[in-house]
């Protein structure tokens, strides 16, 4: 008897716009932005390379290229992971069971299991415990994609630093990445960029910049205003690729509503007041991204004078 068909991941329809510029005073644009979509999901990213004696753009490019290839090839890249899920579900049900790692199986067995998982993802008709586990894990792996990209990119930056003889001048990147799928948005973030949501005319900050000022305020809420006033407001204390644990990421998941507009911004965009950002989104929709970047090309009071970049994503 044929089993019932497991529901496909609900597609999310988006509209997006993005822009970037070196800003009013910088000689180089050290940023990369991405907005990618297909029938099932949308992926967006802003990355700013930091700490290089020349330009942080090569690091930003590496991260963006890795993110793009991971998103576009995610089905094939997830096969090994989901095959591992199937293997553990089928052979690790007994309490205390020690399951042989999937990676240690003979090549032929691994290929056969990957083929089974690939067919299962297409047909979506589970007839074994492992099949059910795979289909339930599929969405979790998809929503984890921004964090997975940042974890891989952090290791890549560390490897490059080791090849050059160690961590130089704080080289790394500030990155905010998001995926929109199955009625949810998942955002992974490290550094001094921001992710914002404008919903029904109100702005919500989904992340906070990893600056010394914010970290002290977060971990020591009783800190005095006098102490805070002595801290440099923009000193970044967490970036992708720094020594030690490369996984110091903030990850946020948000249910989607039609009409939501998400903004991913690099640090240079912090020059704009929240009320100004909200008004621009309400006036221009996703075109708020290029509109704000265009305004950020010119110095004005309070401008950080840094590179400016933004991606806006509207849920349709």
Give DSSP secondary structure letters for 282-316. HHHGGGHHHHHHHHHTS--TT---S-EEEEEEEE-
Return the minimum-mean-pLDDT range out of 62-71, 124-133, 233-242, 243-252: 243-252
Name the residue with higher pLDDT: 158 or 69: 69
Confidence of residue 95 (pLDDT cuts 50, 70, 90): low
Q: What is the count of structural domains for the chain?
A: 2
**What are the structure tokens assigned to 256, written together?**
């989607």
* pLDDT score for 1: 45
Within this chain, do residues 173 and 58 fall inside the same structural domain, yes or no? yes
In this prediction, residue 183 carries a pLDDT of 97
Predicted pLDDT at 167:
53
Both 267 and 244 in a single domain?
Answer: yes
Whole-number Å distance between alpha carbons of 219 and 16: 35
pLDDT, tens digit, 9 for 90 and up, residues 224-268: 999 999 998 888 889 998 876 555 799 999 999 999 999 999 999
**DSSP letter at 176?**
E
54 plus 42 within the same structural domain: yes
User: For the purposes of burial, counting CB atoms within 10 Å of the CB of 311, is it exposed (0-12), middle (13-18) or buried (19 or more)?
Assistant: buried
Q: What is the DSSP letter of 147?
A: H
Same domain for 63 and 86: no
3-state helix, strand, coil in the chain (%, to 5): 40, 25, 35
If asked whether residues 215 and 86 sit together in one domain, one would say no
**pTM for this predicted structure:** 0.92
Answer yes or no: do 86 and 187 share one domain.
Answer: no
Distance CA 49, CA 29 (A): 9
pLDDT at 94 over 80: no
Helices (H), the chain: 57-72, 74-91, 107-123, 129-143, 145-163, 212-219, 225-229, 274-284, 288-296
Give tens-digit pLDDT for 183-215: 999 999 999 999 999 999 999 999 999 999 988
Please check whether residue 160 lies inside any domain of the structure. no
Cβ neighbours of residue 53 closer than 8 Å, sequence gap 6 or more: 168, 169
Asked if 252 and 104 sit in the same domain, the reply is no
Residue-level pLDDT at 158: 87
**What is the SS3 assignment for 229?**
helix
In a shared domain, residues 173 and 270: yes
Q: Does residue 6 form part of some domain?
A: no
Looking at the chain, the whole-number percentage of residues with pLDDT higher than 90 is 76
Neighbours of 177 (CB within 10 A): 31
pLDDT number for residue 170: 61
Q: Is residue 82 part of a domain?
A: yes
Cβ of 238: how many Cβ atoms within 10 Å?
20
Q: Mean pLDDT for the chain? A: 92
pLDDT one-digit tens code per residue, 138-182:
999 999 999 999 999 999 988 887 777 655 556 899 999 999 999
Residues 82 and 129 reside in one and the same domain: yes
Q: Domain check: are 195 and 214 in the same one? A: yes
**Site of tokens 């009071």:** 301
Last residue of a domain, one of 108, 142, 176: 142
Structural contact between residues 56 and 50, judged by C-beta atoms closer than 8 angstroms: yes
The residue segments making up the domain with residue 196 are 14-73+167-315
3-state SS class at 158? helix
Do 184 and 40 fall into the same domain?
A: yes
User: In this predicted model, what pLDDT tens digit does every residue of 270-304 receive, in sequence order?
Assistant: 999 999 999 999 999 999 999 999 999 999 998 88
């Amino acid at each position: 008897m044929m089993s019932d068909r497991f529901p496909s991941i609900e597609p999310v329809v988006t509209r997006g716009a993005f822009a970037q510029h070196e800003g009013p005073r910088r000689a180089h644009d050290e940023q990369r932005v991405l907005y990618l979509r297909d029938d099932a999901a949308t992926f967006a990213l802003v990355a700013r390379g930091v700490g290089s004696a020349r330009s942080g753009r090569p690091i930003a490019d590496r991260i963006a290229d890795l993110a793009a290839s991971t998103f576009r090839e995610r089905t094939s890249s997830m096969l090994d992971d989901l095959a591992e899920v199937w293997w553990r579900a089928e052979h690790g049900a007994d309490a205390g069971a020690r399951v042989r790692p999937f990676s240690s199986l003979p090549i032929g067995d691994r290929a056969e299991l990957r083929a089974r998982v690939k067919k299962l993802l297409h047909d979506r008709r589970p007839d074994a415990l492992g099949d059910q586990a795979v289909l339930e894990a599929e969405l979790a792996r998809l929503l984890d994609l921004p964090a997975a990209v940042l974890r891989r990119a952090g290791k890549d930056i560390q490897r490059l630093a080791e090849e050059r003889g160690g961590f130089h001048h704080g080289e790394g990147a500030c990155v905010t990445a998001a995926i929109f799928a199955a009625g949810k948005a998942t955002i992974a973030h490290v550094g001094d960029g921001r992710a914002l949501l404008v919903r029904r005319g109100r702005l919500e900050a989904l992340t906070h910049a990893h600056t010394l000022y914010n970290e002290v305020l977060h971990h020591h809420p009783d800190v005095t205003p006098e102490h805070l006033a002595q801290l440099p407001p923009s000193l970044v204390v967490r970036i992708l690729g720094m020594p030690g644990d490369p996984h110091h990421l903030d990850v946020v998941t948000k249910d989607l509503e039609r009409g939501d507009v998400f903004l991913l911004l690099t640090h240079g965009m912090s020059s704009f007041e929240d009320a100004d950002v909200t008004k621009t989104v309400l006036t221009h929709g996703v075109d708020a991204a290029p509109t704000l970047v265009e305004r950020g090309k010119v110095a004005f009071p309070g401008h950080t004078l840094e590179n400016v970049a933004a991606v806006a994503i509207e849920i349709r």
